[in-house]
Structure formats: structure tokens, C-alpha cells
Amino acid sequence: MTDRALVPRPRRLSAGLALRRNGAVLALAVLLAFNAAVTPYFLSPGTLNINLTQVAPIGIVAVAMTLVIATGGIDLSVGSLMAIAGALAPIVYAAALARFGSAGLGVALSIALPVLAAIALGWLNGAVITRYRIQPIVATLVLYIAGRGIAQVMTNGNVQSFAQPAFGFLGLGRILGVPFQALLMVAAVAAGAFALKRSLVGRQILAIGGNERAARLSGVPVVRVKRLVYALSGLASGVAGLITVAINSSSDANLVGSGMELDAIAAVAVGGTLLAGGRATVVGTLVGALIIQLVRTTLIANGVPDAAALVVKAALILGAVWIQRQGRS
């Protein structure tokens, strides 16, 4: 009787493993190389600037989304919160100007109040989720549906012109030649990455995402941490909404932030964060956001029609996430 040997499996080459572990970075490098070779005028400061300004809102929202996803949640309402914050800014400015007569105070309030409103709504998401134990996807779906409606009701659907120069700095300003919003994004990424790695709340976020019951029994304030991440998501959405308004010098409640939830979630996933929670990387998310932005630029700059662009995007998301997974298993 001959026993059949269980086939031994060859060990993977460690170089290949390393490459795959950084799959998202690899994908980004490939995209950059491709563009450098193919896209006209790609390697120019102008292009860099444009990409940085365009990626900033996605990046900022995606960082917060990473934290939300790390707790095992998800936030579909980010785009709607952007719209609400964006709709509020010109309204607040006009009201403040009429009441106090000071443009400076008007700008300060038109930044502070909308962001506060977005934080409050984000916190509300968290409250609904923790108070009634409703699935995050459903709880935030509520504001996804209703939030834009609220913004539209506030403005009656009209586009509000808002060309206040000081406010416009959010979207149009430069510091040492770098777009201000890009700096905001970098700050958000740095803060997010540091918090997740080194701060108490960061570890608690991961513990909740990994095993909520165990976390609670270990003294993690589950409810508080969850509300915090959704409030942070609100904060990020609020800021991103204001940036979008600033750069367009106008606020359109119908469109500000539309589709942002999908872009942000895709950035998080492409970056290598586990959608089920418990494992997350903020820097990966930044890479993911850059990939998504670069894909967009590549397709537009090379004149790929919209329909085909969608198919390419789909393949890229699947590919990037798949490469990521290879690194882990």
C-alpha cells in the first residue's frame, strides 16, 4: 500500500511578499510611471498642484472614514454632511454680516458653525448606532438620504454664490506655494496615523473593531469611542464641504460631496484597511486616495470616455484590493 504524500507547498519568495504587502504603494508607483510616460505634461508643478487640490477633500474624509471602518462601522452620510456644511456657510456668513457687520467675524462663524453642525450630525449618527444598536450602514443611510434633502430645503435647491476671499483661502489659498487644502489633508493624515498607532483612543478603536464585547469587558468605553469616530467623520466631512464651497466660490447643495462616500470608502479599502474592522492603516488610506485621484486624472487627461473609464475604475479597485489581500494571507 502506497500512501500518497501531501504535496509540500513552496515557501513564497520574501521579496515578492514584501512587494505585495505594499501592494497599494506598488499600484501607485505603476500609475505614476504610466502617467509620466503617457500623459502629456504630467510631470509639471501645475499637474501636481491640481492633483493635490482635487485629492484633498477625498483624503480628509477618507482618513476619518478609516477610523470609522476600524471600529467595524461605516459612514454613508459623509457626502450629505458635506452638502449641509456647504449650504450653511454662505447662509451663516450673510446672517453674521447683517447682524454684526464684521466680515472677519462672518468668515469665522461661517467656518465654525457649519463644521460644528457637521460634527453634531456625525455624533448623532454615532448616537443612533450606539443607543439603538442599529447597523451603521443603515443608521448612516438615513442621513445619506435625508441630509442632502435638508441642505436642499435650506437653500431651496439654489446655487449660492459665495466668493468671500478670506473664506476662499480654504480652497484657493497657498502656503509656500502648496495648496492650503493639501496641507489640511496632510495634517489630517498625520494626526490620524499617529492617533491610530500611538494614542489610547486609537488602540481602543481597533479593539472595538476586533471584538466589541471583549473591548467592553476590558473597560473600553465603547459607546463614547464610537460616537467620537462618527463625530470625527462629521468634522472631516464638514471641513471637506467647506473646501469644496471655497474652491468653487459657490455652494450647490445638490452636488457638494455627492458620491463622496463611495470614493472615500474605496480609498480606505484600496489602502489596505479591513472593511470588517479591527485592522486599519491611515497612511494606506492616503495612498488609496492618491490612487483614486490619479486614476481619475489619467482617464480624463488621456481622453478615455466616461463609460470606459467606469470599467477601468472597477477593474482597478478590484485589482488593488486583491493585491492588498495577497500581502496579508
Q: By CB under 8 A, name the one of 13, 15, 156, 176 that touches another protein.
A: 156
All three cell numbers of 18, joined, read 514584501
206 binds another protein (CB under 8 A): yes
Q: What gap in Å lies between CA 129 and CA 138, rounded to an integer?
A: 9
Among 25, 91, 149, 190, binds another protein (CB under 8 A): 149
Question: Least distance (Å) from another protein to the CB of residue 276?
Answer: 7
Quick one: which of 91, 116, 150, 178 contacts another protein (CB under 8 A)? 150
**What's the CA gap between 274 and 66, in Å, rounded?**
9
Q: What are phi and psi of 174, to 5 degrees?
A: -130, 145
Question: Is-contact 323 288, C-beta < 8 A?
Answer: no
CB of 185 to another protein, least distance (A): 16
Residue 12 or 99 with smaller CB distance to another protein: 12
Q: Which three cell numbers stand for residue 88?
A: 450653511
**Cβ atoms 279, 273 nearer than 8 A:** yes
Say if residues 83 and 241 touch (Cβ distance below 8 Å). yes
279 burial (CB, 10 Å; 0-12 / 13-18 / 19+) is middle
Burial of residue 196 (number of CB atoms within 10 Å: 0-12, 13-18, 19+): buried
Assess 216 for contact with another protein (CB under 8 A). Answer: yes
With a CB cutoff of 8 Å and minimum separation 6, the contacts of 170 are: 111, 180, 181, 242, 243, 246, 247
Query: What residues numbered 34-93 form the site for another protein, per CB under 8 A?
Result: 39-42, 44, 46-47, 50, 54, 74
Question: Which residues within the stretch 178-197 sit at the binding site for another protein (CB under 8 A)?
Answer: none
Single out the segment in contact with another protein by CB under 8 A; choices: 58-66, 99-107, 184-192, 305-313: 305-313
How far apart are the C-alpha atoms of 289 and 264, rounded to whole Å? 7
* Closest CB to another protein among residues 96, 162: 162
* 325 counts as binding another protein under rule CB under 8 A: yes
Site for another protein in 249-268 (CB under 8 A): 249-250, 252, 254-256, 262, 265-266
Residue 147 binds another protein (CB under 8 A): yes
Segment (H or E) for 154: helix 136-155
CA dihedral 236, 269, 27, 323 (to 10 degrees): 160
| Whole-number Å distance between alpha carbons of 254 and 193 | 32
Among 16, 161, 165, 187, the residue binding another protein under the rule CB under 8 A is: 161
The interface with another protein within residues 5-24 (CB under 8 A) comprises 5-6, 8-9
- Is the CB of residue 56 less than 8 Å from the CB of residue 242? no
Question: Which range binds another protein by CB under 8 A, 95-103, 183-191, 233-241, 276-284?
Answer: 276-284
Q: Tell me the three state secondary structure of residue 167.
A: helix
Identity of the residue, 25 or 142, whose beta carbon is nearer to another protein in the bound complex: 142
By the rule CB under 8 A, 308 interacts with another protein:
yes
Part in contact with another protein (CB under 8 A); list of ranges 19-27, 95-103, 105-113, 303-311: 303-311
The stretch near another protein (CB under 8 A) out of 59-67, 101-109, 185-193, 216-224 is: 216-224
Nearest to 225 by CA among 199, 204, 198: 204
* Footprint of another protein on 90-119 (CB under 8 A): none
**Which stretch in 25-33, 184-192, 215-223, 229-237 sits in contact with another protein by CB under 8 A?**
215-223
Which one of residues 128, 185, 229, 291 is an interface residue with another protein (CB under 8 A)?
128
Number of residues located near another protein, criterion CB under 8 A: 104
Q: How far is the CB of 99 from another protein (least distance, A)?
A: 27
- Report the interhelical angle of 282-301 vs 306-328 (nearest 10°): 150
